[in-house]
Homo-oligomer: A and B are copies of this chain.
Amino acid sequence: MMDLKFVDGLIPVVVQDVATRDVLMMAYANAEAVGLTDKTGYAHYFSRSRQKLWKKGEESGHVQRVVRILVDCDADCLLYEVEQQGAACHTGHRSCFFRTVAGDEIAGKVFDPAKVYANKGL
């Protein structure tokens, strides 16, 4: 694997749906998350708010199978090309980018977050 540039231990990751080619989300990964993604073939990230490594879909079942990992010219950003199970966004939208900057919604929900995330803490 190429040498990657981490800032404060993290590298931003852009996530693209290989089927629709929609940009699904942006998240951060640490070296361990990148390594696990590469090894397991499933997207892993590092949550800045929770300060822990997470596997996408570990709670919702909406996993991302990573078909290819690309790196940008400066090696300070990654692109995961994924097969998205369910939806990428915790709001129920397929992509996290479901609104224009003016606030207009461009895509509806594909699942009900209240059902998918219900009782998961029990």
Contact = CB atoms under 8 A, between A and B. Distances in A.
Interface residues of A, number: 35
Interface stretch (A20-28, A39-47, A51-59, A114-122): A20-28
Contact of A106 (B70, B97, B102): B70
Interface in A1-49: 1-2, 4, 12, 14, 16, 21, 23, 25-26, 34, 38
Interface in A58-107: 68-74, 77-79, 89-91, 93, 96-103, 106
Interface of A: 1-2, 4, 12, 14, 16, 21, 23, 25-26, 34, 38, 68-74, 77-79, 89-91, 93, 96-103, 106
